[in-house]
Structures are given as C-alpha cells and as structure tokens.
Amino acid sequence: MRKIFYTLLTVSLGTGAAMAQPANDNCANATSISVDGGLTCGTTLNATLQGSECFTNYGGGASEHTTWYRVNATDDSLVFAFNQTNVTNCVSPHVRIYGPFTPGGGCLPACGGEVYNEHHNGDPGQHTLLTGLSVGSDYLIQVQDLDCGGPNDGHTEYCLGMFTPQPNTSPGGAAGIDECGITYNGTNIGYSYSTSGPGNENLDGNAGTTCAGCTAGEEVTYVVNNDSWFNFCATTAGDWEVVFDGISNCQNAAPNNGLQMTIFIGTPTNLGTVVWNASSPSSPGSSQTSPTFSVAAGECVYMVVDGFAGDQCDYQYTLNNVSGGCNLLPLPAQLSLFFGYNENGSNILKWKTVSEINTSHFKVERSSDGVNWRHLDDVAASGNSNSSISYAYLDKNYDPTMNYYRLAQYDNDGSLVWIDRVTINNTPTESELVKTVNSLGQEVSSDTKGVIYDVYSDGTTKMRVND
C-alpha cells in the first residue's frame, strides 16, 4: 500500500521581528482549518488574553497570550496534532478544544464544553485521538501561553492540524508491502499513538516479548508518540534489507527533529525478534540501510516508524530482496480502524473495514494483564463488501484497572484473518502535587516568594504568587 504524503511549508517566525497582533487573537476571528488539510503554523507573538476568554494555570494577565482556530468535524473520531516549534521560558502552551458549535458560529465567554485540555510540557509534539465528536459541528481550538521572563522566547510558535485517523497505527492494521525494490512514500503526519501512551509502549499486547533492558512488554527503547506500521510476509525463505531515507518536512527544531524506526519478525500479537533499530533520531536528509536479515518461509516482518519527540515528518522506505527471490504473500483485506474509549460508564470499541470477502464474525476479548484473555462476544460481519463498514461494541462490566481489548476477524471457513488490540485505562486517578518550581524550572519550596508553579501528577501546572 503506497502512502500519499503532505508537502509542508514552514515559515520561520523570528522572535525579534516586529509583528502585528495575530488576526486570530480572539475567538470571534478564529482561523478556519479543515480536516486533512495539512498542518497550519502560527504564533502567539503579540497576541492577548481577551477579558472574556478562558484561561487555566496562569491566573489571567497581560503576560498571557491566546490564539484561536475553528474546525468542522467530518468524523466522530479525529486526530489532533500539535507541535511546539520553539523553546519558551515557561512550561507552555496550554491547548484546549471546545464544542460542539453550529457550523460557522459559537464562541465562548468562559471555560465550558471542553473535549481536550492539555498542558504541553512534555515532548514538543503531542498527538491525540479525539472520540465522541459530533459530525458536522464546529470545534474551537485555543492556544494559550505565558511570558514569565527568562532567556528563551516569551511566546509560542507551533504547527497544528486535525486529521482523519489512519488505519496503519498498530501492528494489526499495518499497511502491507507486496513489491520489492519499490520506494514507498510514508508519513507520520496526522498519526496518534496506538495504545495507552505516549510512552515506551507494549506494542503487541504481549508481556512476554520485550527489548533488552525494557520493562516487560515494552518492545522499543524510545517513547512512542505517533507511530505508523508496515509489514510483508515471505512465502519462501530468503534474505532482505530495508532502506530508510527521504526524511523531510519535519516540524520540530533540532535537536528534537527526525524519526525512529524498528523492524521486527513476528505477528501482530507477538512481535518477537527485533531485527534492527535505526538511529534515534534519524535526522532529516539521512539515509540508512538495515543489516541483511533472514526471513523463513511463512514468517512476517513488521516495521514501525515514529516521530522523535513527537516530530511529524515525511519519509521513504524501500524493501530489497538480497537472496531467495521476491516471494511475498498477496495482501489480504485489512482492518481500516480500531480504537476504544470510555464514555458514560461504558468502554466503547469501534472499528471499520475497508472491504470484506467471506468474513464470518469478529471475536471481542478482554484482559487485565494482556496475557490471559476472556471472551466477551462475537459480532457478526457483513460477509462481502467493497465499501467501508463500521462496527461498535459496548462493555459495561469492565474492572476498574487497565483493560486490554483484543479483536479478531474470522472467515467463513473458520480461519483467523487478523487480530488487533487497544487499551483503555479505567484506573481511578487522583491528581497529587508532585513538586513546586520557579520560572526557570528549578525545584523550590512551596512558600518561596514570587511567581512559582505547582506541578501535579496528571501533568497540569498551576501558577501561584507568594508575597
């Protein structure tokens, strides 16, 4: 499956340049963006916090800035992509998404109707699958920051976008390769992390497969933010290599720019053997070729590409047969989308297929440890279809813990076609104060005079002023 990638133009916004107040400084003049319209880059330089606008953490004042965007939801599930492209003085920005609103209308006098609320104080790039959206309605995106003084920029520069969820965000939905010596174009622009991350994730739901020095179940040594997957299966034994290059149009600034790639031999639920880890990061303009690796007849190879520090880039890869011949298994019908979330006391699983041939049913299973599985139900499939079909399953009897779900498709002859999984965190959480820092990020006492920031376990930060 060849991928079409976006061509991006990133404009440098110098901190010393004289710039007018951004046109989208207030909610009423929000910049319109479209789903799958690529990334839109902006700045909070010279923006202001309007008197009626929502604010969080910082307290509200002249040193705060907000900019606004509007997007119309084309699906009930969309990926929100955000990259901060400069280094600021404070842990910022804070991004919120509100809605739904009628198309072309709506603004907010106060914080309300949030569907997303994230203080971006981790990796520069953060990418989240939003669920339960109202199709056809508008949503407002607010970017807020604070100029607290210091050696870095007093405003935020960023690129953001809203995207249709991609099918190849997990091993089970990997885009298939059925040719050798062909350069495939790929991208992780508009992708989100595939499991409960971002983190050093359990990518295959199997605690028994792990990388050296990793916690059980973690297959890679790097943080996963926005992964894309590809695979091929060999019908005869042979030797292979993969060329990974063409990395371009990255959003993060150096040294946080680039990608990371890992190649496995195994199955979607048992990635098994790590064949090769490309350089992390694999920088723009670099070209790497994996060591030659052997694949037995009937074995499958899975490749994951992820953004370093959440970067979003285009890239290329080429599969070369070294010996044994280019004997690849023809591509089967694939799962288009599988995700899960909790809403109104139920864990909701949703999936889509692009097409179906002689499909019988889907088996839904749940596990609390990712090892021992309990059969929940069988969902009848359509049988034969050349168009996309959506399915859903509600689980109301889950335990208050981390719940793993496994979905498998079976054909009419009883054979297993594919298997995929998602994770929903139902563990009760309470936000606790972790530490208090000053404007330079240095840990201080809670009664330190001046402007200080309380950092909580859920990642949020609240500003206080001690006289």
Q: Token pair 């943080």 is at which residue?
A: 223
pLDDT confidence tier of residue 224, bands split at 50, 70 and 90: very high
Spans of all domains in the chain: 27-163, 171-323, 335-425, 433-466
CA–CA distance from 404 to each of 25, 299, 368, 391, 429 (Å)?
Answer: 42, 26, 6, 18, 18
Query: Given this model, what pLDDT does residue 268 score?
Result: 87
- Average pLDDT (323-351) is 80
Mean of the pLDDT values across residues 8-36?
A: 71
Convert the pLDDT of each residue in 115-161 to its tens digit: 998 888 888 999 999 988 999 999 999 999 888 888 888 899 999 99
In this structure, the dihedral spanned by the alpha carbons of residues 52, 116, 3 and 246, taken in order and rounded to 10 degrees, is 70
**Fold of the domain spanning 27-163:** Jelly Rolls (2.60.120)
What lies within 8 Å, CB to CB, of 85 at 6+ separation is 10, 41, 124, 157, 158, 159, 251, 252, 253
- Contact 210/333 with Cβ under 8 angstroms? no
Tokens 């107040």 correspond to 21
pLDDT at residue 330 tops 70: no
Confidence of residue 15 (pLDDT cuts 50, 70, 90): very low
Distance CA 264, CA 367 (A): 24
Looking at residues 328-344, what average pLDDT do you find? 73
Looking at residue 430, its pLDDT comes to 62
Angle at alpha carbon of residue 190, lines to 417 and 116, rounded to 5°: 105
- Phi then psi for residue 205, to 5 deg, are 75, 15
Tell me which of 70-74, 117-121, 278-282, 299-303 is least confident.
117-121
For 339-389, how does the pLDDT look when each residue is reduced to its tens digit (9 = 90+)? 888 888 899 998 888 777 778 899 999 988 777 889 999 999 888 876 778
Q: Is the pLDDT of residue 43 over 70?
A: yes
The predicted structure's pLDDT at residue 11: 36
Residue 10 has pLDDT above 70, yes or no: no
- Across the chain, what does the average pLDDT equal? 84
Terminal CA-CA length for the chain? 62
Answer yes or no: is pLDDT of 450 > 80: no
Name the band, by pLDDT with cuts 50, 70 and 90, for residue 212. confident
More confident: 439 or 279: 279
CA atoms of 335 and 34, how far apart (whole Å): 25
Please check whether residue 354 is in contact with residue 333, taking contact to mean a CB–CB distance below 8 angstroms: yes
Closest CA to 230 of 293, 273, 286, 166: 166
Number of helices and strands in the chain (H, E): 0, 31
The domain 171-323 is classified under which CATH number: 3.40.50.1820, 2.60.120.380, 3.65.10.10, 3.40.190.10? 2.60.120.380
Query: What pLDDT score does 285 carry?
Result: 94
- Four-point Cα dihedral 74, 142, 248, 127, nearest 10: -70
Tokens of 77: 């599930």
The pLDDT of residue 1 is: 31
- Asked if 394 contacts 346 with a C-beta cutoff of 8 angstroms, the reply is yes
The pLDDT tens digits for 53-101 are 777 666 666 688 899 999 999 988 999 999 999 988 887 788 999 989 9
Give the pLDDT band of residue 204 (cuts 50, 70, 90).
confident
| Same fold? 27-163, 171-323 | yes
Dump pLDDT digits (tens) for 388-426.
788 999 999 998 888 888 888 888 877 777 777 788 888
* pLDDT over 70 percentage in the chain: 86
- Return the ∠ at Cα 465 (arms to 460 and 467), rounded to 5°: 160
Q: What is the structure's pLDDT at 67?
A: 94
pLDDT of 457 over the 50 cut: yes
| pLDDT reported for residue 17 | 44
Average pLDDT of span 100-114: 80
Does 266 or 460 have the greater pLDDT score? 266
Residue type, 125: G
CB-based contacts of 67, cutoff 8 Å, min separation 6: 22, 24, 25, 31, 42, 43, 44, 47, 142, 143
Better-scored residue on pLDDT, 206 or 418: 206
Backbone phi, psi, residue 68, to 5° = -130, 150
Half-sphere exposure of 176 (CA within 13 A, CB side): 15
Closest CA to 301 of 389, 411, 175: 175
pLDDT tens digits, 182-203:
888 899 999 998 766 667 788 8
Which one is the CATH code of 335-425: 2.60.40.10, 2.40.160.40, 1.10.10.10, 3.20.20.70?
Answer: 2.60.40.10
Alpha carbon distance 467, 449 (integer Å): 6
- 443 three-state secondary structure: strand
In angstroms, the CA 173 to CA 226 distance is 14
In this prediction, residues 435-449 reach a mean pLDDT of 72
Q: Position of tokens 């402007």?
A: 451
Taking alpha carbons only, the member of 68, 97, 1, 81 closest to residue 37 is 81
Confidence band, pLDDT 50/70/90 cuts, at residue 33: very high
pTM comes to 0.72
